């Protein structure tokens, strides 16, 4: 499935490249991904007893005015090939490819409490220096985080939470080497 996801994302990327509409296609792909990732929409799309025509009708009503022909074609193709479960992962991969091409990367900061604008800017600046890319930073508050924050970026987790530090101390004490 990973190869199939990559193949679809690459095909969409090539079509965007040929049309020279990366910015517009990026906006459209984000819109579609965010709408279709909702749990009730996913249940509808992958349900085996819902006819393809109903799924096509959903796409047509929701997106026909906003989407390029090749993005709409991808949605119809995924339904026709019974690959509805791949739509959101393919669009996510496609979005990442466009962002990388444009020198951008998405990151998510999860913290125990809201971050100030100064803290957010500081994190963006540090990540930008580290990656050499423009950072699109999303923030989320999670009450399970005791203190501090962690960052999800490009498949990596940078963990600066209190829980993580306590676990590190516990492991060093178990080994008998606390420094």
Task: Extract the tokens encoding 102.
Answer: 């444009």
Angle between helices 2-19 and 87-101 (to 10 degrees): 50
Phi-psi region of 19 (alpha: psi -120 to 50; beta: other; left: phi over 0): alpha
Q: How many CB atoms lie within 10 A of CB 52?
A: 12
Give yes or no for residue 177 having a pLDDT over 90.
no
Give the mean pLDDT of the chain.
90
Domains and CATH numbers, the chain: 2-100 (1.10.520.20), 103-175 (3.40.30)
Reported as a pLDDT band with limits 50, 70 and 90, residue 65 is confident
Q: Which residues contact 37 (CB under 8 A, 6 or more apart)?
A: 88
Q: List, for residues 71-91, the tens digit of each pLDDT value.
A: 999 999 999 999 999 999 999
Cα 119 from Cα 38, distance rounded (Å): 30
Q: What are phi and psi of 134, to 5 degrees?
A: -75, 135
């Amino acid at each position: 499935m990973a190869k199939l996801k990559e193949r679809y994302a690459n095909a969409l990327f090539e079509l965007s490249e040929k049309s020279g509409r990366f910015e517009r296609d990026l906006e459209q792909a984000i819109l579609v991904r965010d709408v279709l990732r909702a749990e009730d929409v996913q249940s509808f799309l992958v349900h085996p007893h819902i006819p393809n025509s109903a799924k096509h009708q959903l796409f047509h009503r929701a997106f026909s005015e906003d989407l390029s022909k090749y993005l709409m074609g991808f949605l119809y193709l995924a339904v026709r090939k019974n690959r509805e479960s791949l739509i959101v992962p393919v669009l996510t991969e496609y979005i990442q490819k466009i962002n990388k091409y444009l020198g951008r990367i998405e990151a998510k900061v999860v913290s125990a409490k809201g971050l100030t604008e100064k803290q957010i800017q500081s994190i963006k600046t540090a990540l930008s220096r580290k990656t050499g890319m423009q950072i699109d930073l999303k923030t989320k508050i999670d009450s399970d985080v005791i203190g501090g924050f962690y960052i999800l970026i490009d498949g990596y987790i940078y963990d600066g939470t209190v829980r993580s530090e306590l676990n590190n101390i516990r492991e060093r004490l178990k080994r008998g080497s606390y420094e």
